[in-house]
Structure 1
Amino acid sequence: MRTRFDDELDELHKSMVEIGELCKDTITETTDTLFTGDTHEANDSINLYHRIHKNEREIEDSCLRLLMEQQPVATDLRVISASLKAVYDLERIGEIAADISELVLNDHLSVANDMINLKEMSRAATEMVNDSITALVKADKDLAETVIRRDDQVDGFFNQAKETLVKSFKEDGNPEYLLNLLMVAKYFEKIGDHAVNIARWAKFVETGKSGR
């Protein structure tokens, strides 16, 4: 019975890694669309989100089934509970990336000049997502704490973006374009926040405390 349970936990870990990879892919594709205006790639990003949403439901079902059938305790219980919580944040990350792609499709947003370092924000947020999943699957508290600290970097990018956009607005920049850029920057900041949530659940697996 224990061997079967261990196999099911391994499958859960694999599923979490897979949905994490999908999230990273959709962030990358979304970022590319911002600078190319490629509507096909924007649609690809949105389709990736639909896969993420489907995977979220499957992972939730697996977690609930394990909780009911196996009645796990101690670390096993924390692993399943943390995965159940973290997959919500992963689904939200995918949805946020899709929302950015919707701006490209519906508002024809295309960034000619990366005046607010969106590429750097995207890179930092993607790394946080990657490391938060690794920390969760490996129950790596130290890596989780590193992810949490790195959120300050993404927050710093967002604050700089606000200052730059306000200055441009005062200099008669295009209001609609600038507001869209601010929205995108806020979206990347929110992706970082969700990665922090996942990292906190990774700490919970080892310590039993979510740190919220």
Structure 2
Amino acid sequence: MTVRREFDRGLQEMQMLLGEMGGRVEKALANATDALVSLNAIKAQRIVKEDLELNQLEERITELGSKLIATQQPVAKDLRRILAAFKISSDLERMGDLSVDVAKVVLRLEGQTLIKPLIDLPRMSETVRMMIAESVQSYMDENVDLAYKMSKDDDLVDALYSQIIRELLTIMVEDPKTIPQATLLSFVGRYYERIADHATNIGESTVYLVTGTRPDLNA
């Protein structure tokens, strides 16, 4: 096997692992939101346990990329591809942690009744889940236009978050007994907002890969 073929095979494995990470994060987020809506503690506990597998994938990407740098000494775009993969895997791992944080809120709410039907939080979650999928796809396809779309999607998520906070504040003022649960639900909105920021970071990594410069899509 030539050096280039060995390098390309390593890059392909890294892409495959990133794709798997992205899929797992999407699933974790969707399941965490479902668990929240139904206050399903069993599903929430499963999400917490499965996070270890995501961490292991990130470690595998770091090991593989480090080996490629040490043995192949890539330059220019080849090097950027590996450095971008490091950053993306880190962002995905953090997204997984934030999905676990949502699941932990469910565990803290176990035995309670929701103070209101959840509408905007699931909407926010669905938008964020789409951002996860599209940000990873932008990297796979080196699609700069799709990467820049993350900025607009992030603005939508921020608007939903502000709306949720306003509504929860109104509920708390009208009935102080709702404050503990409303505070936890506001945390969930914050976790979703942070996941969206990490998806935007992945978009930035895609642009960096293709152009060699990293824009600020969170501005």
User: Normalized against structure 2, the TM-score is what?
Assistant: 0.92
SS at 1:113's partner residue?
Answer: coil
Superposed CA offset, 1:132-163 (max 9, x none): 00111221111000122210000000010111
Q: Distance in 2 between matches of 1:156 and 1:114?
A: 19
Which position in structure 1 is the counterpart of 2:142? 139
Q: Distance in 1 between matches of 2:57 and 2:213?
A: 27
User: Runs of 4 or more off by more than 3 Å in structure 1?
Assistant: 109-116
Q: Distance in 1 between matches of 2:207 and 2:113?
A: 39
Q: Distance in 2 between matches of 1:70 and 1:199?
A: 26
Which position in structure 2 is the counterpart of 1:199? 203
SS at 1:22's partner residue?
Answer: helix
Cα deviation for residue 105 of structure 1 reads 1.4
Superposed CA offset, 1:144-187 (max 9, x none): 00122210000000010111111111111510011011000111
Q: Distance in 1 between matches of 2:118 and 2:40?
A: 20
Which position in structure 2 is the counterpart of 1:93? 95
- Is the CA contact (8 Å cut-off) linking 1:154 and 1:189 kept in structure 2? yes
Counterparts in 2 of 1:55 and 1:89: CA distance versus 1, 3 Å: same
Which position in structure 2 is the counterpart of 1:175? 179
1:161 aligns to 2:139 (yes or no): no
1:27 aligns to 2:32 (yes or no): no
Which position in structure 1 is the counterpart of 2:50? 48
SS at 2:153's partner residue?
Answer: helix
Cα deviation for residue 106 of structure 1 reads 3.0
Q: Distance in 2 between matches of 1:204 and 1:111?
A: 43
Which position in structure 2 is the counterpart of 1:117? 120
- Is the CA contact (8 Å cut-off) linking 1:67 and 1:77 kept in structure 2? yes
1:187 aligns to 2:196 (yes or no): no
SS at 1:47's partner residue?
Answer: helix
Gapped runs of 5+ residues in structure 1? none
- What is the CA RMSD across the aligned residues, in angstroms? 1.4
1:127 aligns to 2:130 (yes or no): yes
Gapped runs of 5+ residues in structure 2? none
Query: Aligned residues: percent identity?
Result: 29
Superposed CA offset, 1:44-76 (max 9, x none): 211221111111111111111111111111111
Letter in 2 for 1:75: K
The number of equivalent residue pairs is 212
Counterparts in 2 of 1:100 and 1:110: CA distance versus 1, 3 Å: farther
Counterparts in 2 of 1:168 and 1:186: CA distance versus 1, 3 Å: same
Q: Distance in 2 between matches of 1:106 and 1:179?
A: 12
